[in-house]
């Protein structure tokens, strides 16, 4: 089969990559409407491939959203806890700009970015009122296949 080549990134490449991610997190997040109250909801959807976080008001109108792919993570790195924490940081900055201080957090999905996103939101100074898991669970599932006869 031959020798395997191990590709190592130099320090310059790593610094460029981290600078690119930092610049993407500093980008202006599209804010749809200013919030009238200081309370809102944050929905965290964490799958095996990506982490998407949305900020809404109490009525459910979308105010801002961010995802790991939009920030600049590609491929398997989108599903990491680090990417989820970066997404939460960008969304918490948007929440501060809008004027939201208290949030209810609703978490959905089975990805690895769930806990790190919540921790990052709390560390950024948002007052978390409640955390609720809204992951859907099948009650009985699909009908099983018929028995194979040989």
What pTM does this model have? 0.74
Higher pLDDT, 10 or 49: 49
pLDDT for 26 equals 61
Residues whose CB falls within 8 Å of the CB of residue 60, separated by 6 or more in sequence, listed in order: 41
- When pLDDT is cut at 50, 70 and 90, the band that residue 1 belongs to is low
Q: What is the mean pLDDT of residues 56-78?
A: 91
Number of domains into which the chain is organized: 1
Flag whether pLDDT at 2 surpasses 70: no
Domain of 92, in residue numbers: 26-133
**77 within some domain:** yes
Provide the CATH number for the domain around residue 109: 3.30.420.80
pLDDT for 33 equals 56
**149 within some domain:** no
pLDDT for 11 equals 76
Flag whether pLDDT at 128 surpasses 70: yes
**6 within some domain:** no
**57 within some domain:** yes
Q: What is the mean pLDDT of residues 62-82?
A: 91
Flag whether pLDDT at 7 surpasses 70: no
Higher pLDDT, 89 or 23: 89
To the nearest whole number, what is the mean pLDDT of the chain?
86
**103 within some domain:** yes
**118 within some domain:** yes
Q: Following DSSP, what letter does each residue of 13-47 receive, concatenated?
A: HHHHHHHHHHHHHTSPPP--S--SSSEEEEEEEE-
**17 within some domain:** no
**120 within some domain:** yes
Q: How far is CA 94 from the centre of its chain?
A: 14
């Amino acid at each position: 089969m031959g020798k395997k080549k191990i590709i190592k990134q130099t320090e310059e490449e790593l610094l460029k990559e981290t600078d690119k991610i930092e610049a993407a997190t500093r980008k202006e997040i599209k804010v749809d409407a200013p919030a009238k109250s200081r309370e809102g909801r944050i929905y965290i959807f964490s799958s095996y491939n990506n982490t998407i976080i949305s900020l809404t008001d109490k009525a459910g109108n979308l105010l801002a959203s961010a995802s790991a792919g939009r920030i600049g993570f590609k491929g398997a790195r989108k599903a990491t806890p680090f990417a989820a924490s970066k997404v939460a940081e960008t969304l918490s900055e948007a929440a501060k700009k809008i004027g939201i201080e208290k949030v209810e957090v609703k978490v959905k999905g089975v990805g690895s970015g769930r806990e790190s996103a919540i921790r990052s939101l709390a560390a950024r100074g948002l007052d978390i009122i409640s955390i609720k898991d809204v992951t859907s669970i099948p009650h009985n599932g699909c009908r099983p296949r018929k028995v194979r006869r040989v």
